[in-house]
Chain A
Amino acid sequence: MNLYLNQIAAIVWKDFVTELKTRELLSAMFIFALLVILIFIFSINLSIVKASEVGPGILWVAFLFAGTIGLNRSFMLEKENGCLMGLMLVPADRTAIYFGKLISNLIFLSIMELFILPLFMIFFNIDLLSHLGPLLVVVFLGTLGFCALGTLLSSLSSNLKTREIMLPILLYPLLIPIVIGAVRMTGQILDGIELFDMMKWIGLTASFDIIYIGVSIMTIDHILEE
């Protein structure tokens, strides 16, 4: 068990050191998410439309599209110079590789989201601070599901020539339950509804998180195999 956790930690450490040196992933995701929000803010008249109604959808579109850039990059890094082959040759359970990449993706996306949330608050003139706790829970649940499925599918699509196209095509339809849950919960939080009163949505999103992680554990062995 110790070795298993050390291997997961080693993958996360490796991805972090790489990102600290290149700063390619976070900057690309942040700029893309910011652009999405800016485009929407200039196309919507917030004096007519209620920000708490359109805001959650825009926020999650920004998170998901920017996150897809991150996911594409994540396994590309492993394909470069045959590094994935090197990983396949170490005495690690394939699920350790999956969880290492999942945690890296989750942390990178969360960092991007933490930078985007204050900008979203300023541009849409929404007070997020009074709902910060519940909002972070919802953002975490949505991001976890996105990363759980996205990590699995990016490992699958990394072997394809058309990987940049295939990942969103495979990912977005399967993400629909999580996206609906996350958007609805974010909207309700901005309307001042307590987390306790949206247990149905929390249950739905958390269930899909668990299902996607479970499916990944069962299939990652076959997906990583050449």
Chain B
Amino acid sequence: MESIENAIEVRHLRKVFGTLKAVDGIDFELKQGEFLTVFGPNGAGKTTLIKILSGLTQPSSGTARVAGFDVTEGHPEMRKEIGVISHSTALYADLTSLENLMFFARMHGLEQPQEKALKVIEEVGLSPRRNDRVRTFSRGMLQRLSIARAVLHDPAILFLDEPFTGLDLHATNVLKEHLQRLHDRRRTILMTTHDISCGLEMCDKVALQVQGKFAFLENISNVDKDRFESMYFDAVRDKQFAMGIGL
């Protein structure tokens, strides 16, 4: 990615589904190499925000620029600069892990796709299972392979949608180490999560998204972690009461 002041720049972003405001006037920017963690209760619009920023969904209004590209234009060059880990693994169940990554390497136009695929498989600790069908993988292994798929082309910007979901302690540590390495290499990262300790530990900025809005956005150095934690739990509880679930 060429040197751009803001890797991600979002202005008055809105996404409406009928009467539901999934994203409601979000503004923020992330400089190259910054790591933003977005917390929020279920249904706060975090996944929609990531879908808009990765060009998978069009916003209703507002602007968003990622790696200097307007996300609404669907520019292929923008997709070279981003990697996305979502709830779905985006892996073909009947292909092996090596075949999956070779396929995505070819789709990205990478030279020596097999070598690249083997390298990232080793990085996520799946070398012994490289020739096994993805269908036989556990949730944690799938998530690690999904990470490998997302970083295969060495993107400058990463979007991670609740990447710790369903991972055991070992897989969580592997993912954290991998994210830390990417952060050290000045990759811009936007991650949504419910895991307070993991989320606060790695980020430079933290946000709390509630009912489509950023109710809180601050540099991590200015955040009292205990106060933020109680604020987050209040938001989750209020959301549950609003939905009639209660605590």
Contact = CB atoms under 8 A, between A and B. Distances in A.
Nearest to B88: A82
Contacts of B54: 89
B127 to A, nearest CB: 20
B94 A89 contact: no
Given A6-B106, A91-B109, A85 B79 contact: no
A61 B184 CA distance: 61
Interface in B96-117: 99, 103-104, 106-109
B90 interface: yes
A159 to B, nearest CB: 13
Contacts of A122: none
A25 to B, nearest CB: 11
Contact of A10 (B87, B89, B103): B103
A88 B57 CA distance: 11
B91 A81 contact: yes
Nearest to A21: B94
Interface residues of B, number: 32
Interface string A86-112: 111111110000000000000000000
A18 B94 contact: yes
Given A82-B88, A89-B56, A10 B107 contact: yes
A80 B142 CA distance: 14
Chain A contact-residue range equals 20 to 34
A90 B92 contact: no
A101 to B, nearest CB: 13
Nearest to B155: A89
Interface string B63-78: 0000000000010110
B149 interface: yes
Interface string B37-61: 0000000000000010011111000
B95 interface: yes
B88 A89 contact: no
A145 to B, nearest CB: 28
A17 B99 contact: yes
A14 interface: yes
Contacts of A91: 76-77, 79-80, 107-109
A89 B95 contact: no
Contacts of A14: 92, 95, 99, 103
A83 interface: yes
B91 A83 contact: yes
A11 B107 CA distance: 8
B148 to A, nearest CB: 12
A225 B80 CA distance: 18
A221 to B, nearest CB: 8
A88 B56 contact: yes
B95 to A, nearest CB: 6
Given A7-B107, A90-B107, A91-B80, A85 B57 contact: no
Contacts of B80: 91
Contact of B88 (A21, A85, A93): A85
B143 interface: no
Given A3-B109, A10-B107, A22-B94, A82 B51 contact: no
Q: Which 7 A-B pairs have the closest CB atoms?
A: A82-B88, A86-B90, A10-B106, A91-B76, A90-B107, A91-B79, A3-B109
Interface of A: 3, 6-7, 9-11, 13-14, 17-18, 21-22, 77, 80-83, 85-93, 221, 225-226
16 contacts: A7-B109, A9-B106, A10-B103, A17-B95, A18-B92, A18-B94, A21-B94, A77-B92, A82-B86, A82-B87, A83-B90, A85-B86, A86-B91, A89-B82, A91-B80, A91-B109
Interface of B: 51, 54-58, 74, 76-77, 79-80, 82, 84, 86-95, 99, 103-104, 106-109, 133, 149
